[in-house]
């Protein structure tokens, strides 16, 4: 999906860095994606951007914990096999 922002900058939501993709995903979950795409990130209030940042931090922490747990399980399984 490609959107054109206020300054005529095309944004391809499929070809973003993972952190940027997460930011757009959360904006969509909060119902702010249309506003961001039409008016840019500067159109958001401090409360809205803070909410996005907080949820990004929360999701990144959850992903990191999940990866660590999976790695620990993998290591434990390897020890059992050896």
> What are the extents of the domains in the chain?
2-81
pLDDT tens string 23-70: 999 999 999 999 999 999 999 999 999 999 999 999 999 999 999 999
Contact (CB, 8 A) for 21 and 13? yes
As a whole number, mean pLDDT of residues 5-16 equals: 71
pLDDT value at residue 55: 97
pLDDT value at residue 4: 53
Q: Which residues pair with 11 in a beta bridge?
A: 3
Number of helices (H) and strands (E) in the chain: give both, helices first: 3, 2
pLDDT value at residue 79: 86
pTM as predicted: 0.76
pLDDT value at residue 13: 79
Residue 13 CB coordination number (10 Å): 15
Contact (CB, 8 A) for 2 and 12? yes
């Amino acid at each position: 999906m490609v959107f054109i922002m206020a300054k005529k900058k095309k944004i391809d939501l499929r070809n973003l860095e993972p952190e940027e993709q997460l930011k757009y995903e959360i904006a969509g979950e909060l119902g702010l994606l249309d506003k961001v795409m039409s008016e840019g990130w500067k159109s958001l209030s401090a409360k809205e951007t803070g909410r996005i940042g907080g949820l990004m931090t929360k999701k990144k922490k959850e992903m990191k914990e999940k990866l660590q747990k999976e790695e620990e399980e993998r290591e434990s399984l390897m020890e059992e096999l050896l």
